[in-house]
A and B are shown apart, each in its own frame.
Chain A
């Protein structure tokens, strides 16, 4: 053991321990924040103007990006699937595949990815900047609850807008599939929509919507929690924003899988 250096091993273990403690602390903080946010929802009517403002910021403003991603996402998927199965003469399955994949998975997933980058990052940066410039302390000093004043309107607006945008994404994604099906696969628009409508199942729709609600809660609460935990000036705000985006992406993927497995069967 020529290179055995106990200090290095000690430091490694100590850093790993500190990291685990931080993750546990942050998880606890986020869960308490979610609980407090639900409790603060009794003020939702009084804060309706704030909620509407955030619905506009996090929802309406992201419609152009959502439109492009949904339309081209749908087109790419339809093209790849269609080119693969056309050799088996099964291209008429494309509409069924499109609606299944869009309302079960891609609608909520694509929207969650866009909203994380578009609104989640902004939430973390806004609240982080407020934290490091003592504005959160100022609110507490005025006996104004930062959760009711800042977090609740953001979470509620996302809980409303993400499912709404998911439906929008599904519709546009399916429309993208229709364009490719018509021009590249020779499926008429009537046939396409007839098959799409026949393949819509209630369970797919409510599971898709449930996912988008869960994703909205994950993104908004993680972003707000990271913002509220920011410290150390601009560097800390940057770090909080980065961590909130990465953790939101990871949790959306992982939790999304478990919801699918729970409702449609699979490996848990």
Chain B
């Protein structure tokens, strides 16, 4: 469903992705781990078509996202949901209006139908009481949940999660993890998750890939990652101070 073929990307002189290749099956939960600034979010932004690789191709449903015309990109994006790290809520709209935004803008139903869908999503993320609040009145964790409610409001086939559990309490993190699993089991949603949170990664992932110095150093099931013999992977997943990871 999603494929990276020899993707390389540089920002100024910094190589962020260096000949990265992997593929994600339909319905798979693919978790990308790595140090801060390793290029994890860059991978999500390539899939969403916000940036193009310097070399290589990004395929979504066998369509080259990096060479697609803007209409095709729009069509592919309309099948995706993106949970941004900060939530990226429109600050002059209420929580309810933020979640309803894609439905209202694309006129996908009457106001009653839209309200029903929005209520359902708010309830799913335990935000029913926050519907009339403004983004400035809610916590960072709540913003993230509103962002997630908005990401799933169009029932997308692919959801891209940028640090879905960072800034959340353990209970809410567990709930988000369960939601990711439930979406995959019930709706066969393909999820690409960028995270530092190893317990969460082990819990939700079908496949975990680790990025280091722009390269994909390991890619496998959670067990394969746990048992990896690569010292970089071991240092990262165990959070050790000493080891081959620089800086």
Contacts and interface: CB of A to CB of B under 8 A. Distances in A.
B106 A138 contact: no
Interface size classification for chain A: 10 to 19
Main DSSP-derived SS at the A contact region: helix
B102 A135 contact: no
Interface string A126-148: 00001001110111111110000
Contacts of A139: 90
A141 B77 contact: yes
Interface string B101-122: 1100110000000000000000
B212 interface: no
Contacts of B102: 142-144
Contacts of A137: 48, 50, 82, 84, 88
Interface size classification for chain B: 20 to 34
A149 interface: yes
A149 B50 contact: no
B88 A149 contact: no
Contact of A143 (B77, B88, B150): B77
A141 B98 CA distance: 13
Contacts of A133: 86, 88
A144 B147 CA distance: 16
Given A135-B89, A135-B90, A149-B105, A140 B84 contact: no
A133 B90 CA distance: 10
B80 interface: yes
A144 B102 CA distance: 7
Interface string B80-101: 1110111011110000000001
Most chain B CB inside 10 Å of its own CB: which residue of A130, A133, A142, A144: A142
Interface in A115-170: 130, 133-135, 137-144, 149
Contacts of A144: 101-102, 105
22 contacts: A133-B86, A133-B88, A134-B84, A134-B88, A135-B88, A135-B90, A137-B50, A137-B82, A137-B84, A138-B84, A138-B88, A138-B90, A138-B150, A140-B50, A142-B77, A142-B101, A142-B150, A143-B74, A143-B77, A143-B78, A143-B106, A149-B105
